[in-house]
Amino acid sequence: MKTLFNLHAHSKFCDGAGDPEEYVISAIDKGFHSLGFSSHASVPFKNNFAIRDDQELTQYCTAIRNLREKYKDQISIWLALEIDFIEGITRDFKDFKQTCLLDYTIGSVHLVKNGYDDRLWFIDGPKVETYDDGLKNIFGGDIRLAVTLSSDAHRPEEIDGYFPEALEILRDIGYKSLVYFGERGWEDQAI
């Protein structure tokens, strides 16, 4: 079995760049057996990273299902959402899963209540200082509390970002397998 898969890819439907089909073509060209799309689910406030509304969500789901059918003989394509959890603010994961008939979900925390007032603290993004503050204040500075193998691709050319290096490191520190989403649900794959 091939080792290459990615279950965390974005596209033009959220803060990624490019049409989903460009990601599929890139993944096929690079020998991937599976590709999961996980655009950022909509949130109930103005932002520049998530699917905007239910109409755009429907378009996203339809586009990914159409690609699944078109490329079914070449690659497994999965429909998912990266869903933010902000207590008391965001929609329930089950609502998205049932409404969109998702194959899986990715839970995320990009924004948290800062603990002092009702403002949200964006702990993800291009500013290293913002991330470092989040890592320090939420995970006590321990990066090991947050590990997975995905490129979090926001461009087609990032679909396999540092996979060979990451796999080598995982093997070197004793990992024997990875888990990916397959025809039977979550499956182990030797590395």
The model's pLDDT over 121-138, given as tens digits with 9 standing for 90+, comes to 676 666 677 667 766 766
pLDDT-based confidence at residue 139 (cuts at 50, 70, 90): low
Q: What is the Cα Rg of the chain in Å?
A: 17
Q: Quick: pLDDT tens for 10-60.
A: 999 999 999 999 999 999 999 999 999 999 999 998 888 999 999 999 999
Section 54-74 average pLDDT: 97
What the block records as the tokens of 82 is 């990266």
Tell me the residue type at 98. Answer: Q
Task: Tell me the fold of 5-108+149-190.
Answer: TIM Barrel (3.20.20)
pLDDT-based confidence at residue 110 (cuts at 50, 70, 90): confident
Mean pLDDT in the chain? 84
Task: Name the residue ranges covered by the structural domains of the chain.
Answer: 5-108+149-190
Within a 13 Å sphere around the CA of 88, how many CA atoms are in the beta-carbon half? 4
- In this structure, how many other beta carbons lie within 10 angstroms of the beta carbon of residue 83? 23
